[in-house]
Amino acid sequence: MSRPPGRKQENHKISRELFVLTYGALVAQLCKDYEKDEDVNACLDRMGYGIGVRLIDDFLARSAVKKCRSYSETADMIAQVAFKMYLGITPSVSCSSAAGNEFSLILDKNPLVDFVEELPAERASLCYCNLLCGVIRGALEMVHLAAEVTFLQDRLKGDPVTEIGITFLRKAEDRKHKR
| Spans of all domains in the chain | 16-168
In 3D space, the residue among 112, 106, 92 whose CA is nearest the CA of residue 156 turns out to be 112
pLDDT of residue 170: 78
pLDDT grade for 14, boundaries at 50, 70 and 90: low
According to DSSP, the residues that pair with 150 across neighbouring strands are 165
Reported pTM: 0.86
pLDDT of residue 16: 78
The edge-to-edge listing of strands for the beta sheet with 162-168 is 92-95, 102-107, 162-168, 147-153
Between the alpha carbon of residue 75 and those of residues 3, 70, 92, 97, the distances in Å are 37, 9, 10, 13
pLDDT of residue 5: 58
pLDDT of residue 171: 57
Q: State the average pLDDT over residues 149-174.
A: 87
- Single-letter amino acid code for the residue at 39: D
More confident residue, 86 or 11: 86
8 Å CB contact between 164 and 149: yes
What residues contact residue 132 under an 8 Å CB cut-off, 6+ apart? 48, 112, 164
Write a three-state SS string for 45-69.
HHHHHHHHHHHHHHHHHHHCCCCCC
Query: How far is residue 102's CA from residue 15's CA, in Å, rounded to a whole number?
Result: 33
What residues contact residue 16 under an 8 Å CB cut-off, 6+ apart? 88, 111
Q: Percent of the chain scored above 90 by pLDDT?
A: 70
Q: Which CATH number fits domain 16-168: 3.30.1330.20, 3.30.1380.20, 3.40.50.720, 3.40.50.10070?
A: 3.30.1380.20
Query: How far is residue 30's CA from residue 35's CA, in Å, rounded to a whole number?
Result: 9
